[in-house]
Structure formats: C-alpha cells, structure tokens
Amino acid sequence: MSKRSYFGTDGIRGQANKHPMTAEVALRVGLAAGKLFRRDPERRHLVVIGKDTRLSGYMIEPALVAGFASVGMDVRLFGPLPTPAVAMMTRSMRADLGVMISASHNAFSDNGIKLFGPDGYKLSDARELEIEGLMDEGLQEGLAAPTGLGRVQRIDDAQARYVEIAKATFPRSLTLAGLRVVVDCANGAAYKVAPTALYELGAEVIPVGVSPNGCNINDECGSTHPGTMARAVREYRADIGIALDGDADRLSICDERGQTVDGDQIMALIAGAWAAEGRLNGGGVVATVMSNLGFERFLGQRGIAMERTQVGDRYVMERMREGGFNLGGEASGHLILSDFSTTGDGLIAALQVLSVLVTSGKPMSALARQFEPVPQKLENVRFTGLEPLKTGQVQQAIADGERRLNGSGRVLVRASGTEPLIRVMAEGDDERLVAQVVRDIASAVKAAA
C-alpha cells in the first residue's frame, strides 16, 4: 500500500489549527472528495455533514462546505450528531458521501474528519488514497460553473430521526420502566439524543456530561473517564451506568455498585445472549488483537469462534462483512452490531445490554463479569521524531518477551494510528511476568526514542 499523507486508522486527525487539521486541509478534503464522488454529471450530488461539540468544528465545517459546494455538491448540515447517526443518515438520505467532524475520545484541542460512502460504511484505504491524490492538486482544478455550485441547507430533525432509529433496536416487548440509568454523554455529540432515547423507552434518566461549551468534550467525563459515571451511579443509586465518548461510537458501562465493565465483557454478554437466541451470525465474533485472551477462551468454551483483526473498528467491520458476522468490536468499547448499524454505536450497544438486563431480571453486577480476564498490561510510550518501533534493540526486546512467555501468553507492540505513541501490550497467566515483559519492552522503546 502507498504511504498515506493525511489519513490514519480513523480518518484525518490532529490538533486543531495545526497541519493536518487546518481549514486549508478541510477545504482540500471537500474539493477532492467532492470530485471523486460526483460520478454522474447528469444529476445533483449530495454530501451530509455532522459534527461533535468541539469549538474547532466551527472552523472545519465551513471549510468543508466551501470545498464541496465549489465542485458542485449539495450539502446538508446536521449539527451535533453521533458518528453512527451520520453513517445511517448518509444511507437513508441517499447521499453520495457522509462526513463526521470529530476526534472521538481525544481532548477538545484535537479534531478529525471521517468519511462514509453512500452505503454508510467508512471508506476503504484505497478510496482514501484516491482522495489524498486529488487533495494535492491545484485548488483551481475541477471547479463548478457559477450555475453549478452546490446548495447548502441545515437539517433540523436529524437528532429526532436518530432517536427513533435507536429506539427501534430495543425489543418492542420490553420496557425500561423501573430502571434508573445514569448516562454520561461526555459533553459530546450524543448530549441530546442519548438521554432522550432512554427516557422515551421508559427509564428514569440521570444525565451527566450534557452541557457542552466547545472546550469540555471528554474532559473528566465520558467513556475515557468512567469514574464520573460510577460516582453518579453510586450517588443516585442507579441500576446501571452508561458512558459514551465524544462522538458516541464507543461506550463504557458500570454496574449498580460502580464497577466498570469493559468492551470485551460487554461483547461476551451480547454474544452469549444472541447465541442462545440463535441470532449470532457467522458462527462467531470479530475482535481485534487487543481483546483479552480470556474472552477468546470464553467464546471457545461455547463453540463460538473469535476472529482477530488489526486495531480500528473499520477493520473489524470489513471482516464482519466478509464473514457474515453481526457482532464485533474492540475492548475499548467500540461495538459494532451490524444488524442495526454500519459502524460502532455506543447507544445501540447499550440498549442491547439493557435488553439482557431487563430480560434476565438480575442486577447488572451479576451479568458484568462473563469471563475471568487473563492478566493484561498496556503501556503507552510517547515519542518524537522517527518511530522507534523498527530499531534493532526494540525488536530484540520483543523477541525476548515472547520467549519468556513461552506460549502461555502473547506480546503486541504497535504504533498508534492517531497519536505519536507506541502501545506495548502483553498478556498471560503469570501476572508478574507479564508486567516485567511490558516494562522491559517499554524501556527499550524509550531508549530508542
């Protein structure tokens, strides 16, 4: 594959107002993607754009709009809306392209641009490379005539449409009446839709992180800071806590005691319930290389296969489509339920957990630990300059770690696709050995960096 200059594992991402997350780059994305997806000169073409609540969205959105309109694409603006909702609306509105402006779980100072094709799925690597090639053309190339410029409108009912779609994924025969639910929306894209959907399904809702000011997205709240959710659950004696990230494509859950439940345990809960109901397609679950070995063993004991992909929900989705799977995700809480959505959807995944909770009649604490996790240790090492991963000393440290685990665990060292980090992970049955292996590899990475 050719080297990518702008796109990472999940669109284009970076610090706002610094390359590549500048108004100029956003303009070039609009120009390039607009040219690529205007396939039929005989008809109008449409792009839909959603965003989270970051202050920099007010800079990125108009730049994208200018790019798309200048090559003749009509634009519809949703305003704040979850990433999965933008994917759904791209398809339901028969748009040629969908765009989400968000840096997901990152701090407010970052932002990003994610693109969806007309089928609602994230673009392939090959498509992104085509866009990159066009981005480096002159800004005057391929512009529309004055009479052919795109028209721009705001869509006022986008949030209401998504609420109805999300509610429809919850079994009609069930209700959330009698449940007290904390929902932490991370001051992000779901700050209106998530509490509304839960309330309309019958729950008593305690909303947290629903006062965005442009700079507080993911700030000590949301799925990356589950302690805020857990404290609210204990304070209000709630039955369950749900925490979404800034663009609501991932979630964290805690039980009524405030104990956090990770993405692997949530996937195990849903997989077990769906398998029992004959709803689990493909004979298994798609996870990433980061999912816990204990999860894999849990599935194997039930005759359910686990297929692993590289990190990134796009790669999980690609494998799901190839193999006919309808459940997949990441330990981080990106869960894809392809019966309902084309990408990770925190709210819809939470509704599936709530349906199991209601049906079982058990407290969440009795459902939260589906398997015993194998001890796993992860350390992130930040670097500047050239990536240190391929140096001889780092490769030797990795080989030494694998030899010491001796088949009773595994080592995974990879570069982050969104930040200048090397992620060092090991897992195995011997917790002290795992911790030592991670320390040794991380030390080699630091020395090389």
* Catalytic positions: 104
Bridge partners of 415, per DSSP, are: 422
The whole-angstrom separation of Cα 406 and Cα 222 is: 38
The whole-angstrom separation of Cα 75 and Cα 368 is: 43
| Cβ atoms 150, 69 nearer than 8 A | yes
Nearest to 247 by CA among 183, 186, 338, 195: 186
The whole-angstrom separation of Cα 102 and Cα 419 is: 15
The whole-angstrom separation of Cα 274 and Cα 269 is: 9
The end-to-end CA distance of the chain, in Å, is 26
Helices (H), 201-312: 226-236, 263-276, 293-301
Question: Count of alpha carbons within 13 Å of 205, Cβ hemisphere only?
Answer: 23
Query: 373: which 2 tokens?
Result: 């996790």
Bridge partners of 45, per DSSP, are: 73
Nearest to 217 by CA among 107, 84, 60: 107
The whole-angstrom separation of Cα 38 and Cα 43 is: 9
Could you identify the residue written with the tokens 């990106």? 334
C-alpha 273 chain-centroid distance: 23
Q: Name the helix (H) or strand (E) containing 379.
A: strand 376-382
Cβ atoms within 10 Å, residue 441: 26
Torsion of CA 355, 359, 360, 364, to 10 degrees: 30
Bridge partners of 77, per DSSP, are: 49, 154
The whole-angstrom separation of Cα 238 and Cα 241 is: 7
Nearest to 74 by CA among 56, 55, 87, 93: 93
Nearest to 379 by CA among 408, 402, 404, 413: 413
The whole-angstrom separation of Cα 61 and Cα 395 is: 42
Bridge partners of 49, per DSSP, are: 77, 99
| Cβ atoms 188, 155 nearer than 8 A | no
Query: 6: which 2 tokens?
Result: 């702008």
